[in-house]
Structure 1
Amino acid sequence: MTTVLPSPRAIPPTEQPARTPVRRWQHHAMRHLPTMLVGVLLLLTAAVRLINLTGAPQRIDDEGTYVAQAYALLHYGELSHYTYWYDHPPLGWLQIAGWFLLTGGPDAASTAVASGRGFMVIVAVITAALLWTLARRLGLSLAAAATAVAVFAMSPLAVELGRTVYLDNIATAWLLAALVLFCSPQQRLSAAFGGAACFGVAVLTKETMLLLLPAVLMLAWTRAARATRRYAAAVVVTVLGLMLTGYLLMAAVRSELIPGPGHVSLIDAVQFQLYGRDSGGSVFDTASLNRTTFERWWVLDPVLLTAALPAAAAALAVRRLQPIATGIVLLSVILVRDGYLPAPFVIAALPLVALLVAGVPDAALGWARENRTGRYPLRRIMLVGTLTAMTALGMSAGIVWTPVLRHLLTVDADAPLLRAQEWITTNVPTEDRLIVDDAIWVDLVAEGRDRRDVVWFYKLDTDAEVQGWSRRGWRDYDWVVSTPSMRAGTAPTGQLADAVAGSTPVAVFGAGDGRVELRRINPPGAASPALGAGTPTASAGELLADRLDNSAAPALTILRSGRADPRLLTTLGILTAREPVSLSDLPAMPGEDAAGMPRRQLHLATDGAEQGRITAFFQAQSGQYAPDVVEPVPGGLLVRFPAAAPTVTLPGADAAVEAGPSARLRVADLRRTGVPEVVEVLGVDGRPVGSLGTGGYATPAGYRSLPPGSYILATRPAADPASPSVARQVVQVLPDRSYTFALFIAADGTSVNAQFVPDDPPVAPRGFGQVRLVEGARDPGVVTLAVDDPGGPKAVLADGVSYGLVTGYAQVRAGERTLWLQSGDREWRLTTRVPSTTAVTLLLTDTPQGPVVHAIPDAPRSAPELGRSDRAEAA
């Protein structure tokens, strides 16, 4: 029987519904959703860090150090701006230097650190992109990956530390790159090679990445293909070993691997990093430094820190998250040990914690969806519990993060340091030497200051090369810029501690712990001028204010309150003796009122010829009385004195002193200028008292008597009474005392060194006289002066003294004496007579035949009175 199959019927094709524009848009959006989502998250990461980038946090010392080391690579061809001592591998600041090459260097931003922070923003965006990729390769859903990146982008702890120029930020990006490559879906050996190379770069950027080596090796092993796992492990170990060995070879080539005399060594640096640092104590000890560091992290983000350990513990149960959780556990163990805990230690953990915070709930929800054969209540509990924990965590983050982020995005915490930096540029001469926070080192050096004159405070006690730049140690510096970083890093003893103790605040910016102080190092024996009511400056200011008719009341109030700079009072007093003066204002300089410093600016209402004369007067001032700014401004003339050491003081007014017998004063001009001058004597209020002739180079003028009190001494050419008078000194003469006002050429060869010395030695025993030396001879150089003594060996009057020195009195037997003057291998024998009743000044002067000694009697019993008529006589 034959069976005939029926003919197959043609099945009509299934009609595909036509795609509408809405469906096409939905399909396109779903296909590109990951790209759009990650793009939004990367923009968010960048925006949160860019807004107020230079305002918060305040620049710190570590940032300046890494930027300065990158600057040194580009400008000096050196690994560091000071002796490189292997504190960190140099690859980190090599990358910062590369950023500078791409962007135009530190000058491309408002400050050098600001330029470095721009690089940190780029690094943060790259880190966020790598975090997204790692999350996806670990199997996290789109929502979980987005959550991880969002947590990293918005965590205040990640934002503040991520803005800061830390090597840890750069190293963390390389760490994530290594993890991404180890999780490559293709599981090729080339990915293992790349991952090992990236982790090697991370370690050579910041050596603390080695703490995560077990977690990295664990991920590399578990993510490698079974067939090539051993080969992958061999590749990873070999590449890492070769890269780290390269660092050792660099030290060996530089002969700095093994400790030895006269050089730094890598082994010494490693020992210091591991064992030499002072322990910060336990984080469980409320008084420890490590607890302070942890509390700073906690203030920024308690939510993420609270979730870190629970998330890591839960992630240990999720196979694909176990290596990441292991890394967090390792870092937690290091955190709780007693040892040194740097502030950026937590940086490497932040993206990993964000990954776990998003990954653990994602794994729990995935288990609840997939395990449908299990018990329904368990799945429901898992689902509800996970959603509740996520909601609570999200709400807590929103509540806690909002005020902290508002602070980071709005507050200008760096304003004190920036204003201090501007103050230095305006007020500190480029030849002055500064001890600074490294945060401003590059900016000051880029202004044209010598790198040896801008010294990082840390090196003052630790770098032999830096110590060799300063023979007298901290006394060879002029300024200390005190910042929070410096105050935190100042040891109780040492050069830095002595410099701070031996300095006076001149300007203060900000308040509290964040303040920045500009401190002037006081010369030996210098004292800050007394300010305020009842002080000499107030007394002089009151007298001067009474003479300044038609002046602004606020300016006169400042004068009377004792808040005016003594240099300002002195020069203004001289000026009022020459012509009417109208004082408009004594404007404050930034930061100086907060430091309790006097006003050192004056605004005079002048115009026309009067302004020209007053300008010429201030421009003629020299030495400590020379202003650094004399310029026309709307309504008159602005004069500003430099922020100098407090060497100019005013003697106090004493009614008992002024009521005593007359004093005596003479002038000894030892400048060899060839131009006859007179010394004008004025009251501190500018009231003319008289003038004294200076005599010749080898012949001091005779004494003149004047009432005891306080006086301004100024000089002018004798032949031109209209020429500006130049302030030399403010002095106080006591009743029935004698004084010599000696004028020398200063060490710079142009300005004047004025010395006011008393001429009244104690009474000598019978048969002895009182002798002192005034060294007015420049040609011999350093000299030693001795006098023969019939009763014994030579008596040394001056040992190794130079031009410009006035010695104290010494007792010498009266009579004809032989003087022995020695300079190097040259020797002169001079004779003089030492009286037994009158003190004698031995005035040493130059002549074409060599040095000569003149015996000049001191302290006469009477002297002609100094009066106004002396001005005409002297001229």
Structure 2
Amino acid sequence: MAQHSRGTPVSGRSPATPPGPTGTRSPAAHRLLSLDVVLALLALVGGLRVLYSGAATPVLPAEAANVAHAYALGHLTPFTGADDAGASPFGWAQLAAYTMVSGAFGRSGTAVAAVREAVLAAALAGALLLWFLARRLGCPRWASAAAVLLLAASPLALGLQRLVVVEHLAVGWALGGLLLVTRPDARIRHDALAALCLLAAVLTSPLALVFLPAAGWLLIRRSPVRAALVAVLLNLGLGIAFGPAAGLLRPHLAAAGRPTVADWVALDPAWAVLSTVALVAAVGVRSLRPFALAGLLLAATLVVPGVPDTAVLALLLPLTPLLLAGVAQAVTRQRVAPAAVVLVVVVAASWSYGYPAPRPATDRSDPLVGARDWLRANASGARLLVDDAAWAELAGVGWPTGMLATPAACEPACPPAEWAVFGEDRDELQHRHPGLARVFATAQPTAVFGTVTVSRLGVPPDGPAAASEASARAHAGAALVDSTRITLTPEAAAVLYAGNADPRLIATIAALATLQPVRVAAFPEAPGEDPAGQPRRRVLLTGGEDGAAAFYAGRRDLFRPSSVTRTGSGVLVTYPLFAPPGLLVPFSSP
């Protein structure tokens, strides 16, 4: 296979040399050293991606849709996603298969984290394939290790390879196919397996078509007849997949959107510079030209309107370190040390700039988890209108999927629902799904968890009555503070003065004060409700706890609490959501 490089064996094995002096490493020692290097690199790849996995909330619509489809397929549950989120039935099947075999949904805290395990496994497989492909092209261990190290530790790779996009799976299939194509002792079965790998890559993401010319080039170099065999197998498979089986297998890309290539490159400018250099320089190295062709075709798609930059970079990410390693090995055979120093300085400067962006979050709380738990406590079993990310999260904890509707079902009008749960920007959602305009017109935010808002639907917009209610709560609260029968902490008094206490609590505290002195320690916040402007509906009472507990346990109708709990700090009284209007009419005057 000398035709694959200039004086460099593509098999990855050292050229035959006379027996060395005593003390030189044996072939077994070389293999053990390679194994140690590979295991260390894989540990680095996996460890950094676990560390930098970040919050579990999806950061782009395509990821949320992929997670939802993977859950639905693995649990044989129907799910209808938006067309602009892309489609990859074969990719979803791979994600679902991993979660089913590994039990990821039962082990992970969120649906997104469960499916991201599959992406982590794909990243490990990609790093391993990158090592073997670099060695197959004749790169020494130091160059192969450098290629994997760039992929393992780049801030861009850490940010990109944590997202559930099917292109991470597709590039693994493509690298596997190219590795089989470059096998020096390949037989017909290896070529057939390479054709299947390349077919799987295309069925996972149509962008993987750019790897087919590179594979064909490598095959024609070796054997035109075998190249024809692979071409026949590929055409047969693609013809079936995009023809009779198109409804089950045909993939299509997600709509273009943020993050853009500029957003990603900002994480690692050195990657962009080195990748550009490698793509151009690799054209001058005969063994690398087929791979440079694939890389240049991928780079060209970045300027095609409608192609998502994230998907392109996911395929390009492991390819450019391979080209860079091959170019560096060809150029610096006699000047390894100076070139290595320059490369390390450039990469270190870039990474010191890019690492802060994808750094591990100190707060690992997930807004979707907060919204999910709030809904289970306050709206269990209700009909919900949710985005794709919330669908997967709620379905994962047993919410009936028949009670969950996505924006894709809102044309021409949304199905009946009592609550809405959205983490995406409302204007963007409404632009993509005009049927949501009527829903948002009657949506009252009830709980806010970071970027996720839970809204009650069918509520008229706030008017003078809402302002009157807030004024009444403030006046009635001030009267409680002035009562000599009620003792309040400064924090509790501030809540009453601001009119942030539920009218039912104000009325019942006043009634209890006529029977016994009352001590109010706090009005504890219900998670997520303060940011939505909801009055606090819980109170912690201390002193006279037996009388307070009996008093609240005996309330009926409108003033019956949802729970009365004895705690180590006192009696915690909780009312259900939404006090009826008019309970504080005497205090309604301005």
Which category describes the TM-score, using the shorter chain as reference length?
0.7 to 0.9
Question: Which residue of structure 1 aligns with residue 3 of structure 2?
Answer: none
**Distance in 2 between residues matched to 1:40 and 1:24, nearest whole Å:** 23
Change in 2 beyond 3 A, CA 1:325/1:82: closer
Matched, 1:45 2:45: yes
1:337 to 291, 304, 310: 304
2:230 to 219, 226, 236: 236
**Distance in 2 between residues matched to 1:413 and 1:455, nearest whole Å:** 30
Question: Which residue of structure 2 aligns with residue 431 of structure 1?
Answer: 381
Change in 2 beyond 3 A, CA 1:606/1:341: same
Question: Which residue of structure 2 aligns with residue 218 of structure 1?
Answer: 217
1:341 Cα deviation from its structure 2 partner? 2.3
- Give SS of 1:630's match: strand
Change in 2 beyond 3 A, CA 1:426/1:627: farther
Q: What is the correspondence of 1:786-805 to structure 2 with a 5 Å cutoff?
A: none
Question: Which residue of structure 2 aligns with residue 832 of structure 1?
Answer: none
Question: Which residue of structure 2 aligns with residue 591 of structure 1?
Answer: 528
**Distance in 1 between residues matched to 2:62 and 2:133, nearest whole Å:** 30
Q: Which amino acid aligns with 1:168?
A: E
Q: What is the correspondence of 1:608-623 to structure 2 with a 5 Å cutoff?
A: 609-618=546-555, 620-622=556-558
Question: Which residue of structure 2 aligns with residue 415 of structure 1?
Answer: 365
| Counterpart contact for 1:89–1:207, Cα < 8 Å | no
Matched, 1:294 2:170: no
Change in 2 beyond 3 A, CA 1:593/1:159: same
Question: Which residue of structure 2 aligns with residue 710 of structure 1?
Answer: 586
Matched, 1:441 2:386: no
**Distance in 2 between residues matched to 1:572 and 1:560, nearest whole Å:** 15
**Distance in 1 between residues matched to 2:470 and 2:553, nearest whole Å:** 33
Structure with greater helix share of residues: 2
Question: Which residue of structure 1 aligns with residue 488 of structure 2?
Answer: 551
Matched, 1:541 2:477: yes
Question: Which residue of structure 1 aligns with residue 344 of structure 2?
Answer: 394
Q: Which amino acid aligns with 1:543?
A: A
1:479 to 419, 430, 451: 419
Question: Which residue of structure 2 aligns with residue 205 of structure 1?
Answer: 204
1:299 Cα deviation from its structure 2 partner? 1.8
Question: Which residue of structure 2 aligns with residue 140 of structure 1?
Answer: 139
| Counterpart contact for 1:565–1:598, Cα < 8 Å | yes
| Counterpart contact for 2:61–2:85, Cα < 8 Å | no
**Distance in 1 between residues matched to 2:364 and 2:443, nearest whole Å:** 24
Q: Which amino acid aligns with 1:237?
A: A
Matched, 1:640 2:589: no
Q: What is the correspondence of 1:105-116 to structure 2 with a 5 Å cutoff?
A: 105-116=104-115
1:353 Cα deviation from its structure 2 partner? 0.7
More displaced, 160-169 or 393-402? 393-402
1:528 Cα deviation from its structure 2 partner? 9.4
Question: Which residue of structure 1 aligns with residue 434 of structure 2?
Answer: 494
| Counterpart contact for 1:70–1:93, Cα < 8 Å | yes
**Distance in 1 between residues matched to 2:65 and 2:428, nearest whole Å:** 16
RMSD over aligned Cα atoms: 3.5
- Give SS of 1:311's match: helix
| Counterpart contact for 1:537–1:650, Cα < 8 Å | no
| Counterpart contact for 2:38–2:128, Cα < 8 Å | yes
| Counterpart contact for 2:41–2:152, Cα < 8 Å | yes
Question: Which residue of structure 1 aligns with residue 445 of structure 2?
Answer: 505
Question: Which residue of structure 2 aligns with residue 33 of structure 1?
Answer: 33
1:461 to 394, 410, 418: 410
Change in 2 beyond 3 A, CA 1:609/1:42: closer
1:98 Cα deviation from its structure 2 partner? 1.4
Question: Which residue of structure 1 aligns with residue 13 of structure 2?
Answer: none
More displaced, 97-106 or 519-528? 519-528
- Give SS of 1:710's match: helix
Q: What is the correspondence of 1:459-858 to structure 2 with a 5 Å cutoff?
A: 459-461=408-410, 473=414, 476-484=416-424, 488-491=428-431, 494-510=434-450, 515-524=451-460, 530=466, 535-547=471-483, 548-576=485-513, 580-605=517-542, 609-618=546-555, 620-622=556-558, 627-644=561-578, 648-650=580-582, 684=584, 710=586
Higher relative contact order (CA 8 A, sep 6+): 2
- 1:526-575 CA-to-partner distances (Å, cap 9, x unmatched) read 65975799822211211233335233343123112212123433444454
1:306 to 260, 264, 273: 273
**Distance in 1 between residues matched to 2:552 and 2:238, nearest whole Å:** 66
**Distance in 2 between residues matched to 1:153 and 1:455, nearest whole Å:** 39
Q: What is the correspondence of 1:301-380 to structure 2 with a 5 Å cutoff?
A: 301-366=268-333
| Counterpart contact for 2:74–2:97, Cα < 8 Å | no
**Distance in 1 between residues matched to 2:464 and 2:447, nearest whole Å:** 14
**Distance in 2 between residues matched to 1:608 and 1:564, nearest whole Å:** 21
1:525 Cα deviation from its structure 2 partner? 6.0
| Counterpart contact for 2:58–2:64, Cα < 8 Å | no
- Give SS of 2:486's match: coil
Question: Which residue of structure 2 aligns with residue 865 of structure 1?
Answer: none
1:183 Cα deviation from its structure 2 partner? 0.5
**Distance in 1 between residues matched to 2:519 and 2:204, nearest whole Å:** 63
Question: Which residue of structure 1 aligns with residue 55 of structure 2?
Answer: 55
Q: Rg: which structure is higher?
A: 1
1:347 Cα deviation from its structure 2 partner? 0.4
**Distance in 2 between residues matched to 1:436 and 1:178, nearest whole Å:** 40
| Counterpart contact for 1:309–1:328, Cα < 8 Å | no
**Distance in 2 between residues matched to 1:529 and 1:25, nearest whole Å:** 86
- Give SS of 1:410's match: coil
- Give SS of 2:528's match: coil
Q: Which amino acid aligns with 1:559?
A: L
Number of residue equivalences: 570
- 1:485-534 CA-to-partner distances (Å, cap 9, x unmatched) read 76654417723344334323333334xxxx33333335236659757998
More displaced, 588-597 or 131-140? 588-597
**Distance in 1 between residues matched to 2:392 and 2:404, nearest whole Å:** 9
| Counterpart contact for 1:433–1:454, Cα < 8 Å | yes
| Counterpart contact for 1:45–1:154, Cα < 8 Å | yes
- Give SS of 1:140's match: coil
Change in 2 beyond 3 A, CA 1:108/1:348: same
**Distance in 2 between residues matched to 1:109 and 1:118, nearest whole Å:** 9
1:365 Cα deviation from its structure 2 partner? 2.4
1:230 Cα deviation from its structure 2 partner? 2.9
Q: Which amino acid aligns with 1:149?
A: V
| Counterpart contact for 2:368–2:452, Cα < 8 Å | no
Question: Which residue of structure 2 aligns with residue 188 of structure 1?
Answer: 187
- Give SS of 1:408's match: coil
- 1:146-188 CA-to-partner distances (Å, cap 9, x unmatched) read 1111111111111222121211111111110011000011132
**Distance in 2 between residues matched to 1:17 and 1:324, nearest whole Å:** 35
Question: Which residue of structure 2 aligns with residue 452 of structure 1?
Answer: 402
Runs of at least 5 residues in structure 2 that lack an aligned partner in the other structure: 1-18
Runs of at least 5 residues in structure 1 that lack an aligned partner in the other structure: 1-15, 258-264, 281-288, 370-382, 468-472, 652-683, 685-708, 712-730, 733-875
Question: Which residue of structure 2 aligns with residue 13 of structure 1?
Answer: none
1:399 Cα deviation from its structure 2 partner? 2.4
Change in 2 beyond 3 A, CA 1:355/1:442: same
| Counterpart contact for 1:431–1:449, Cα < 8 Å | yes
**Distance in 2 between residues matched to 1:566 and 1:415, nearest whole Å:** 31
TM-score (norm 1): 0.59
- Give SS of 1:186's match: coil
**Distance in 2 between residues matched to 1:522 and 1:492, nearest whole Å:** 22
Question: Which residue of structure 2 aligns with residue 852 of structure 1?
Answer: none
| Counterpart contact for 2:520–2:541, Cα < 8 Å | yes
- 1:742-784 CA-to-partner distances (Å, cap 9, x unmatched) read xxxxxxxxxxxxxxxxxxxxxxxxxxxxxxxxxxxxxxxxxxx
